[in-house]
Amino acid sequence: MVALVTGGASGIGAAAARRLAAAGEHVVIADRDAARADALAGELGGTAVVADVTDPEAVGALIARAEELGPLGIVLLNAGITAGQSGIEDIDLVGYRAIMGVNLDHVIFGTAAAVPALRRAGGGRIVATASLAGLVAMPGDALYTATKHAVVGYVRSAAPTLAADGIRINAVCPGFADTPLIAGAKSQFGDFPLLTPDDVADAIEAILERGEPGECWFVQPGREPAPYGFRGVPGPRGGGAPPSVDWRSGQ
């Protein structure tokens, strides 16, 4: 079987790619860093692809390339960036579009492109790398928090539909991890415990093994990763089942 990892040349993506290769998967490593992707693919006997994950056509071509190598069984939508701005007053549109494109669009485009291939393989797994910032507010980076909340909401909402086709979609929500994403700010953490990429790869392995549709697993140093327990929103007074609404029809 084939496993695809976006943002797979370093950090969490590279750690997960190594686990998948050790489990016998042919790993397709998609990354904008061609040299690192090539080096890791060579180490793992996988395939490196340079792709713009914010472009739906490029993502479609990436899925097609993965499927050429065999039945596609696992898709890890892991690529991500930070905003570099507060997102409250100093909106820089180029940076705003970039973080929305990488952190959110790529998860949606990747899922939409992967589903037909996973159906052809008889089912499979999609895991999106979100963040604890997808479960709780992260003051100081409102745009990053917005994208990760959106990923969590998308995964939870898409899960019932995909489960009917034997496709399970989940999110992994790590706390602060010692990856290139925080390299510029690492000194600010002091003695605060950081996750390692392998800690997050452990959680991804657990999700692939026993995660239920739509679960979003938190990952924190010193704790076993587990599904986050969302509280239900109180329903309307008077009871009754929630309506099943097809928003596409306007009904």
144 is catalytic: yes
Q: Which of 96, 144, 154, 228 is catalytic?
A: 144
Longest dimension (CA), the chain: 62
Distance CA 208, CA 168 (A): 9
Tell me if residue 96 falls in helix, strand or coil: helix
Two tokens, residue 32? 């904008």
Non-local CB neighbours of 202 within 8 Å, separated by 6+ positions: 225
SS3 15: helix
Nearest to 127 by CA among 1, 37, 227, 23: 227
57 vs 26: CA distance, rounded Å: 23
Structure tokens at 102: 């990488």
Active site residue ranges? 144
